[in-house]
């Protein structure tokens, strides 16, 4: 059981590293390199596509890891079939492929705001199709993910509480179980807190016209920076929890 969970933890760590490296590279290109030395194209579309794709991968892996832990703790007999290293490896291969395909619209709806701030913004093409797309993404990344993670984590906590009440031996194994559960809960709640605003931002961008008034542009500009910084923080916080998991 631990091995399958470890595979998910490693996959999430790799995904977070890719996000941080991508953001570091783009930050150097847009904020550090002098404007006169900047290339003709900053790769805004590709950067936005990869960034959103990796974010979706992180979401799917988070749900998969929590489900793996839920089965292992709550249904140990079924865990022999569901919580296997083969299933974990298959999920870690298929999830990136499917998520990168789903994220393709971000490539075509991103553009570089060539002003003093040099913002690479996604979902700037307004249409009914993209509005539906952003709502589907919001529901999946926020509502469905939140409910699924909450239900499974509550199940894990209740199962661990029952197991502790049935045994008087709280040795090394029970301490390890408690530590891993705390780490997974920390990753889950930090993920929900730091990434949900990014999905909401896409909806805002479909509703407002940032050039209509100074107020709309203020909402547009502020939401961009707040949600991006929160999403970056999620990757850094994940590394902290993964280090705690050993």
Give residue-wise pLDDT tens across range 32-82: 655 555 555 557 788 888 888 998 898 899 889 889 888 888 888 887 888
And the tokens for 117? 């701030």
* Predicted model pTM: 0.76
Task: List % helix, strand, coil for the chain (3-state, nearest 5).
Answer: 80, 0, 15
- Pairing relation of β-strands 111-113 and 119-121? antiparallel
Give residue-wise pLDDT tens across range 89-144: 999 999 999 999 999 988 888 776 665 556 666 656 677 787 788 888 878 877 78
Which of 102, 97, 13, 114 is CA-nearest to residue 52?
102
Mean pLDDT of 190-206: 76
Longest dimension (CA), the chain: 69
Are 228 and 173 in contact by the 8 Å Cβ rule? The answer is no
Residue 194 backbone dihedrals phi, psi, to 5 degrees: -85, -25
- % of the chain surpassing 90 pLDDT: 9
């Amino acid at each position: 059981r631990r091995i399958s969970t470890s595979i998910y933890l490693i996959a999430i760590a790799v995904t977070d590293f890719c996000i941080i490296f991508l953001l570091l590279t783009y930050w150097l290109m847009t904020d550090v390199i002098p404007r006169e030395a900047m290339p003709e194209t900053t790769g805004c579309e590709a950067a936005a596509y990869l960034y959103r794709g990796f974010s979706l991968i992180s979401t799917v892996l988070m749900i998969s890891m929590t489900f793996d832990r839920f089965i292992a703790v709550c249904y140990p007999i079924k865990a022999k079939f569901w919580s296997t290293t083969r299933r974990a490896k298959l999920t870690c291969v298929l999830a990136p492929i499917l998520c990168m395909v789903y994220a393709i619209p971000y490539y075509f709806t991103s553009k570089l705001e060539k002003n003093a701030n040099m913002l690479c913004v996604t979902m700037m093409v307004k249409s009914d199709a993209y509005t539906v797309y952003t709502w589907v993404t919001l529901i999946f990344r926020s509502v469905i993910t939140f409910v699924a993670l909450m239900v499974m984590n509550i199940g894990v906590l209740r199962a661990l509480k029952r197991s502790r009440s049935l045994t008087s031996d709280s040795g090394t194994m029970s301490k390890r179980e408690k530590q891993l559960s705390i780490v997974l809960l920390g990753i889950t709640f930090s993920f929900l807190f730091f990434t949900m605003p990014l999905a909401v931002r896409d909806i805002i961008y479909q509703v407002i016209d940032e050039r209509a008034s100074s107020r709309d542009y203020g909402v547009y500009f502020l939401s961009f920076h707040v949600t991006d910084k929160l999403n970056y923080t999620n990757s850094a916080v994940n590394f902290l929890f993964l280090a705690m998991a050993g």
